Structure 1
Amino acid sequence: MAIPFTLRGTDGLWMTNGPPALGTQPDFKRDTSKTCKVFAYSKDGLLFAWCNGEFVNIVNTQTFKLVHQLNLPRTSCMEFSPQGNLLMTWEPYQVDTDAKHGIPNLGFWDVKTGQCVKTLIQKKQTSWAPQWTADEHLSSRNVNNEIHFFEDHNFDVIKEKLHLQKISTFALSPAGPPYMVAGYVPGSKGQPSFVRLFKYPNLSTPIANKSFFKCDKVEMAWNKAGTGVLILTSTETSNESYYGDQGLYFIASNGESMKVTLGKNGPIYHLQWSPKSNEFCVVYGFMPAKATLYDMKAEPIFDFGTGPRNYCYYNCQGSIVCLAGFGNLRGNMEFWDVKQKQLIVQTNAPDTTNFEWCPDGQHILTATTAPRLRVANGYRIWHYTGALLEQVNLEEKKELWEVKWQNQPEETIKDFQIKYKPVEGVPSLPQPETKVAAYRPPGAGGRPASVKLHDYEAPSVVNETAKANKPLTKNQKKREARKAKASQEVSTENHDQSTLMDFPSIGNAETDKKIRNIRKKLQQIEKIKEQQQAGKQLEKNQLEKIQGEAALMKELEDLVLS
């Protein structure tokens, strides 16, 4: 069955089918309004909503029949709740000049009845949508630096509040129960910033706390299973880097926390959890950037080497990860088999501003959209083996603003066998090229340039030897030191015993005992002398022992020759 995708631009809103029915149109009637502001799919893809500047329309994607039409012409953002029971809409905040109070601009609409469940005031567009758990039992929003929690779509009653002084950001785990929430409080007056993890509804006692001194803001990302959250800290300014300082930390739902050790200095460009929730990928470091795969203990398990990339994208099955270089990079795309840790193919999608995996996990949609790029807007459909299946460019002076695959129910997302042989594709349409001669210094004398700009690192599995080279924590250092000391004492004791017994008996038990005692003292003096040669400051009694070495040697000689 073909999975369609939706496009929004100056020609309005329309749909087209993906593989295997490329180029065909579903039964959706194009909306030709040139003021289509926003559209959204429900998580299972069975509902589709959009605003055309007059109404918000909701249709069933199986029949494309209109379900509801809402008189909300100013809607700028919309989103379905995880189970598709509610449609949330946001309009720019306004104040009633007569009543001199704000007009509620965040609406919750029952998809079955089309009735408004609740309206609230949400001034800022940033983080406008409440956060939900996957079962829709719990929803939460930040109100004046206080997190309010609601249960079972009842927005008239605040069930719980998270009180943290000046809390600015939070992240609700999508899974549960148990339900987990992480809250961030920025530092002030020499105090560090911190993130605390709570288990709902016990919001008075945190189960984990992580503090940071170099932090102006954080981004938090839970995995799908709700077993761990990644915290990306950043500062706007730094004496060491133009990009500021960044740090990456991991907190597990059981309260364990640790810093993610990165293998190269530089900014963190992108990170993403695997849909399987058992690993995550990070792209970081000065160009050429490094990409590394980490497990649930924040330990590196595979190093993808370095290359021109600044994004990482998992397919819906978590079996393939694409490392891509977009924006100021030239569109490099590397497709990796996650299980085999093997490169499938490397290709290029120049001028890409939008990348999205198809829910089937085998096809990719890349697009050039406005306002990022206003020239040569269009889209391409790829296969994960690097084959270009379709390329469509809009007419000149026409703009494409947004493009997105239709979501699919989770039960329809199936695993598949990864193949390395490319499927049959189509030739890429010619792109305008500007040839720039390589720079040659004045003293080159016309000789060809031979400067190698970058040395790329090869990918590698992170083995136990590499893990052993990872910097130890304070507790790990203490444990290793205790083990080493105990091992050394046992080894020294065994060595001393074997050395003391390793001499021929004189035949007199009393004389043999005296010889053993003298040899033991001489071995102790030898160790003290080694410490002295290593630069250690000796005690007075240790110096006296060294001075007595000659007398002990004379006494030992007399006993042996007697």
Structure 2
Amino acid sequence: KECLFVLPVRGSEGLYMVNGPPSFTESSAFQRDSGKNCRAVAFSKDGSLFAWCNGEKVNVVNVTSAELLRSFDLPKAVCLGFSPKNTILATWQAYTTAKDGSAGVPNLQLHDLKTGKCLKSFIQKKIQNWCPCWADDESVCARNVNNEVHFFESNDFNTIANKLHLQKVTDFVLSPGAQPTKVAVYVPGSKGAPSFVRLYQYPNFGGPQSALANKSFFKADKVTMLWNKKATALLVIASTEVDKTGASYYGEQTLHYIATNGESAVVQLPKNGPIYDVAWSPNSVEFCAVYGFMPAKATVFNLKCDPVFDFGTGPRNAAYYSPQGHILVLAGFGNLRGQMEVWDVTNYRLISEPVASDSTYFAWCPDGEHIVTATCAPRLRVSNGYKIWHYTGSVLHSYEVAPNEEMWQVFWQPCLDGVFPPKAVKYQAVPSELPGAEPKPALAYRPPALRNKPVMSSKL
């Protein structure tokens, strides 16, 4: 069995790659970068290229051969991103102005990976949504500039091919998949007018009649927009910072469904409380929502926004479909104790209930068989490390950094959709040499002065 995936691990021990299942050894092809200043890492969409910044240079390597393809002299880069077909590497560093108050130098740069030349530099002050968004075939690229969306075609960044100008576009998302490219835009409400999300087909932006769909709503300080894989529908989580009723510390959320055929609806959630997570199934015809005051409910809905299956309530705040869409993990991370429920969503049967305590990160491997969970700094600064699981609940590999070290990031090498077809679901835990992860029992609180001392029974 050869190892198909690598996992980069970034932390105070430097940057290195670990071979995925079944070997879990450090990759000998990728030379460990042992500096402590590795701020940014990125894979290309197909997983063939890997870039990192070590505080001196931004390097790009071919993952298979480990050959250094490009090196850019950008010591301050903190964000990296590849265009979908590996044509361009985008880099971002913090924007700084000169002491005399004059405008700073452009801090977002687009580099041609074939020639190594810088194609274009932009001023991009905010780190939010810093990276331009490309259509999957790179025919269109878009970025938000002063509340307008600017579109470029065929990676020609000297000419703005189109502009989408509404009152104040604060966010936009391009649709995934093949042409035609669709774009969802969010305009926040002001002076009593509602917020709205509109869907357009590129490049038809002429007036409100040209929109494919429109949904307006009150109660939105920010929105999260999620396209399904087939780009036929969009889910919008609209949230307010403050819940006026005082019922929730998390503000108030509502879930809206908008389809490119013009249909729209509010998804009726049968339990009150926050919406913790919403995830589209890769089949594009179902989505799962995790919502309601704890213990939270989880429900799968169809495109009519009717419930298809209800998982009941439990300690959970996240939902993760496998890349093939055949398995769904419901999990409780953050302020919950890391319980996971692994469900076969073809038959709605529970497969396993592993526990990944103190996890700050969860990700499916593209093979749809393996999962990584990790405890990373700065979210948690103790017991940093990662575990690789089989979805049947077995821990196949576990690594914890030394007590005085930190781990900042670990993630799977991606690959293109369709490389791994779904396999038949197993219910029996796969064999492993490691014991299952048992949560530590909660002990009574002891003040620091009495820790590591024998327990004295108090006599009254």
| Shared fold per TM-score greater than 0.5 | yes
Aligned match of 1:338: 345
Q: Are 2:372 and 2:389, in contact at CA under 8 Å, matched by a contact in 1?
A: yes
- Tell me how far 1:414 sits from its aligned partner: 2.0
State the Cα deviation string for residues 226-266 of structure 1 (Å, max 9, x = none): 11111111111123222222111111111111111112111
Residue identity opposite 1:312 in structure 2: A
Distance 1:128 1:434 in 2: 42
Matching residue of 1:227: 232
Q: Is 2:33 the counterpart of 1:34?
A: no
Report how far residue 189 of structure 1 moved. Answer: 1.5
User: What is the TM-score with the length of structure 1 in the denominator?
Assistant: 0.76
User: Residue 43 of structure 1 contacts residue 408 of structure 1 at CA under 8 Å; is this kept in 2?
Assistant: yes
Aligned partner of 1:121 among 120, 123, 126? 123
Shift, 1:433, TM fit:
4.7
Asked whether 1:359 is paired with 2:359, we answer: no
**Of 193, 199, 202, which aligns to 1:200?**
202
> What's the counterpart of residue 301 of structure 1?
308
Displacement of 1:201 in angstroms is 0.8
Q: Does 1:95 pair with 2:103?
A: no
What is residue 319 of structure 2 aligned with on the other side?
312
Helix, strand or coil at the partner of 1:408: coil
1:13 is paired with a residue whose SS is strand
- CA shift, 1:429, in A, is 7.0
Structure 2 distance, partners of 1:175, 1:22, is: 33
Please state if 1:138 is matched with 2:179.
no
Aligned AA (1:76): V
User: Aligned with 2:353: secondary structure?
Assistant: strand
2-structure distance, mates of 1:411, 1:26: 28
The range that moved more, 247-256 or 50-59, is 247-256
**Post-superposition shift, 1:12?**
0.5
2:414 match: secondary structure = coil
> 1:216 aligns to what?
221
> Identity, % of aligned pairs?
52
1:59-88 Cα shifts (integer Å, max 9, x gaps) = 001100100110010000011111111111
Query: 2:435 is matched with which residue?
Result: 427
Deviates more, 1:19-28 or 1:370-379: 19-28
Q: Which has the larger radius of gyration?
A: 1
2:394–2:436 contact (8 Å) kept in structure 1: no
Aligned with 2:287 (options 280, 292, 297) = 280
Residues 305 and 434 of structure 1, relative CA distance in 2, 3 Å threshold: closer
Q: Distance in 2 between matches of 1:26 and 1:338?
A: 38
Q: Is this contact kept in 1: 2:278–2:290, CA < 8 A? A: yes
> Shift of the alpha carbon at 1:428?
4.7
Change (3 A) 1:309 1:412: same
How far did 1:99 drift?
8.8
**Is the Cα contact below 8 Å between 2:59 and 2:72 reproduced in 1?**
yes
Partner of 1:7: 9
Q: In the alignment, residue 443 of structure 2 is paired with which amino acid?
A: K
Given residue 211 of structure 1, which amino acid in structure 2 is its aligned partner? Answer: S
Residues 79 and 89 of structure 1 are in contact (CA less than 8 Å); yes or no, is this contact kept in structure 2? yes
Distance 2:258 2:96 in 1: 39
Between the two structures, name the one with larger relative contact order (CA 8 Å, sep ≥ 6).
2
Shift of 1:432: 5.8
Counterpart contact for 1:132–1:174, Cα < 8 Å: no
Q: Shift in Å at residue 215 of structure 1?
A: 1.5
Could you tell me which residue of structure 1 aligns to residue 453 of structure 2? none
Partner of 2:450: none
Q: Aligned-pair distance for 1:296?
A: 2.0
Any conservation in 1 of the 2:17–2:26 contact (CA below 8 Å)?
no
Superposed CA offset, 1:458-484 (max 9, x none): xxxxxxxxxxxxxxxxxxxxxxxxxxx
Alpha-carbon distance between aligned partners in 1 of 2:406 and 2:387, rounded to the nearest angstrom = 15
- The structure with the largest helix share of the pair is 1
Q: Deviations over 1:431-457 (max 9, x none)?
A: 7654149xxxxxxxxxxxxxxxxxxxx
Letter in 2 for 1:310: N
Q: For residues 238-249 of structure 1, what are the structure 2 equivalents within 5 Å?
A: 238-240=243-245, 241-242=247-248, 243-249=250-256
Residues 225/18 of structure 1: CA separation in 2 closer, same or farther (3 Å cut): same
Q: What is the aligned counterpart of 1:379 among 373, 386, 391?
A: 386
2:63 to 41, 55, 61: 61
Query: 1:264 corresponds to which residue?
Result: 271
What does residue 81 of structure 1 align with?
83
C-alpha contact (below 8 Å) 2:395/2:437 kept by paired residues = no
Q: CA deviation at 1:102?
A: 2.3
One of 328, 342, 345 as aligned partner of 2:335: 328
Gaps of 5+ in 2: 446-460
Query: Partner amino acid for 2:80?
Result: M
Q: Deviations over 1:186-232 (max 9, x none)?
A: 11221111112211111022222111121211111111221111111
Moved more, 370-379 or 292-301: 292-301
Report the residue type matching 1:195 in the other structure.
Answer: V
Q: Which residue of 1 aligns with 2:456?
A: none
Contact 1:8 1:36 in 2 (8 A): yes
Deviations 1:346-403 (A, max 9, x none): 1101010111111111011111110111111111110000011111111111100000
Contact 2:108/2:121 (8 A) holds in 1: yes
SS at match of 1:304: strand
How far the C-alpha of 1:24 sits from its partner, in A, is 4.6
- Corresponding position: 1:289 with 2:296: yes
Letter in 2 for 1:232: I
Tell me which protein shows more strand as a share of its residues: 2
Letter in 2 for 1:172: L
Separation (CA, whole Å) in 2 of partners of 1:296 and 1:308: 26
Deviation (angstroms), 1:174:
1.8
Unaligned runs of 5+ in 1: 438-562
Q: Which residue of 2 aligns with 1:458?
A: none
Match of 2:151 in 1: 149
Equivalences for residues 380-399 of structure 1 within 5 A? 380-399=387-406
How many Å separate the matches in 1 of 2:325 and 2:442?
Answer: 38
The alpha-carbon deviation at position 5 of structure 1 amounts to 0.5
Q: Which residue of 1 aligns with 2:175?
A: 173
Name the SS for the 1:410 alignment partner.
coil
Query: What is the letter of the counterpart of residue 294 of structure 1?
Result: F
Measured after TM superposition, the shift of residue 23 of structure 1 is 2.8
Q: Contact 1:42–1:48 at 8 Å: present in 2 too?
A: yes
Q: Is the 8 A contact 1:17 1:26 kept in 2?
A: no
Equivalents in 1 of 2:304, 2:135: separation in Å?
A: 24
- What code does the residue aligned with 2:320 have? Y
